[in-house]
Amino acid sequence: MGIENGLSAGFSPDSYDAIIVGAGYAGAVCARRLVESCGFKVCVLERRDHIAGNAYDYVDEAGILVHKYGPHIYHTVNERVNEFLSRFTEWTDYQHKVLANIHGTLMPVPFNHRSLKLAFGDQKGEKLYQKLVATFGENKKVPIMELREKNDPELVEVADYVFENVFLYYTMKQWGQTPDQIDPSITGRVPVFVGDDDRYFPGAPFQGMPAEGYTALFEHMLDHDCIDVFLGVDARDLLKVSETSVAVCGRPYGGEIIYTGPLDELFGLDLGALPYRTLDMEFETLDMDQFQPVGTVNYTTSEDFTRITEFKNMTGQVVPGKTTIMREYSKAYTPGSGETPYYAILEDQNLELYRRYRERVAGLVNFHCVGRLAEYRYYDMDGVVASALDLSDEIIAQHS
């Protein structure tokens, strides 16, 4: 049937072997695999008016392909993920580069050999670089929190500079907390790079952008006779989950349910709300060919927004005389406000709250949680796809 707005008149849950909540990566990957490997008929319920979850892209009024929910750059070391997604798209060979605006000077991030020279001057920068090479080796990634533990005065100087000028203010804007207060894995995503590679994801063997965009990738993934997608449908209106049973449209449901939304919402937040950060995205179209030299510039010492992305620089699209940029403003997420929960806040008490929600569905053999929201994880796209491939493997094994 394809993609429809709203539920079809004769919608019957029992005509589906699986009901999937959410048409982002987690939901779409599971849908495709279950129809192909189990011969299932599945429906995907999506409350937004489009597929592709937070990876959704569209052409704006200026004719420029933009990412509605923030800049998305595909990168992975996972061959299986890459093979699976590559069935549904060609890739461009875009290699993402980010510059930090540090008091008006643009320096590569992850902070690397060239950044050191820009920050400290050629001679001193080289000397400090040689110290990093002697300590960690060449082409090594060193998380800032690890670098800060070193006692050597030259390494302390580098660590202090990078901490103050790359991480402190940006992290305060993004998380409302200092780098010492947040989980070290978060700043560890953007380590100091002891080398010359100035890509944001050095060492990722597969990176690029889907040649026709992310939404097209999802259109291809969901294009199957046995997948029905219903947009504008909030699954909470149909689904009733308790610790012992799952009902859909008021009747017990025996098929598989794959849930990719926030777990607390499913229970009316009755144990308390899972905390998230959300973003305000500010789009602007400018009458110029190019605004900035790279895809993204991080504002690490100034401004209220965290970063500016210029989409044409990432997609390679040619639109003379016009370019669309986007600024991201981070803030605490308020449940029920219509905001999007973008980033789980990885703190012990939040993970404990998540665990309590998760325990509630642990006894339901046909109810599965997968994805960045439903697993309350800081997943990149490839991490979600890997998790969805694993879950679908398990379900396929049970049905074969």
Scanning residues 263 to 322, which ones bind ligand UDP (CB under 6 A)?
298, 300
Per CB under 6 A, 13 contacts ligand FAD: no
* Matching residue, tokens 């997420």: 333
Distance CA 7, CA 133 (A): 60
Per CB under 6 A, 171 contacts ligand UDP: yes
Region from 184-192, 267-275, 286-294, 352-360 binding ligand UDP, contact rule CB under 6 A: 184-192
Region from 222-230, 303-311, 312-320, 375-383 binding ligand FAD, contact rule CB under 6 A: 375-383
User: For residues 96 and 113, which CB has a smaller minimum distance to ligand FAD in the complex?
Assistant: 96
Per CB under 6 A, 73 contacts ligand FAD: yes
Binding-site partner at residue 170 among ligand UDP, ligand FAD, none, CB < 5 to 8 Å by type: ligand UDP
Among 55, 145, 227, 369, binds ligand FAD (CB under 6 A): 55
Closest contact distance (angstroms) between CB of 344 and ligand FAD is 10
Per CB under 6 A, 379 contacts ligand FAD: yes
User: For residues 32 and 327, which CB has a smaller minimum distance to ligand UDP in the complex?
Assistant: 327
User: For residues 215 and 300, which CB has a smaller minimum distance to ligand UDP in the complex?
Assistant: 300
Amino acid letter, 84? F
Among 64, 159, 204, 384, binds ligand FAD (CB under 6 A): 384
Per CB under 6 A, 24 contacts ligand FAD: yes
Region from 124-132, 183-191, 235-243, 391-399 binding ligand UDP, contact rule CB under 6 A: 183-191
User: For residues 163 and 170, which CB has a smaller minimum distance to ligand FAD in the complex?
Assistant: 170
Distance CA 221, CA 388 (A): 14
**Total length of the chain:** 400
Among 30, 43, 45, 395, binds ligand FAD (CB under 6 A): 45
